[in-house]
Structure 1
Amino acid sequence: MVFVSRSFADRLGNGSDINDCLQIGEITKIGNRELVITTKFEKAPKTYTLTMHPDAYVHTGDRGQFMKFSELKTGNLVAAYGWYRDGKWWARRIAVMDPNDYLIKRLAEDAKAGVYYKGER
């Protein structure tokens, strides 16, 4: 279970943890506090431009390890958590995923078998 301090949720406004959406994809373009990702493991991949929220952070798949936004590279597989508001997709957290992780391999196997992430048929 994840607990968010009240003060942190208040600073984020309408984008607290409970409202977050998740997109898994590869980074295709990196700009000034913006990322463009193309989703994976979906029947019809989608492209999203993510604007980094001022309080956003980037972490790796290893527990407690963080990285700088400038260390992200195109081709990195990421899980982006955030919300859509005011015409922008705001990223609150970017998790860099290990392509050899069991979850990622399982999502890839399921997609090959016709079972897509987010229930697409």
Structure 2
Amino acid sequence: MGASDPPRILSVEDNPDTRLLLEHTLQGDYDITLASSVEEALDHMAAESFDLLLLDINLSEKDGGVELLRTIRDRESLDDTPAVAVTAFAMPGDRDDFLQKGFDEYLGKPFTRDRLVDTIEDALSAT
């Protein structure tokens, strides 16, 4: 990645409205790739590298974001890619729970553009 290249982000989100929002919000500042399923995400990751993962926790299939992250972390070449849990679960303690499961940051829904970008930047700067 050259100094002027935007960070490459893979967003895994099964809700089409949220995917559109993420794409619209992040394009220009980031090189965003969107996946709607675990399988699609793994295909993208096999073909290209990313600087950050935005993983929806409550994917409609049985393997949600937590299982996807576990699969990713088990692959040696991907084990240090920072990951952000994106979720509507916003109970006290959820953030710590997701961090213990291997995520680097946590973003609750609904979120503002500023909160999204701040969370992405925090995760990227931690690497």
Same fold at TM > 0.5: no
Structure number with greater Rg is: 1
- When normalised by structure 2's length, the TM-score is 0.25
- When normalised by structure 1's length, the TM-score is 0.26
More strand by share: 1
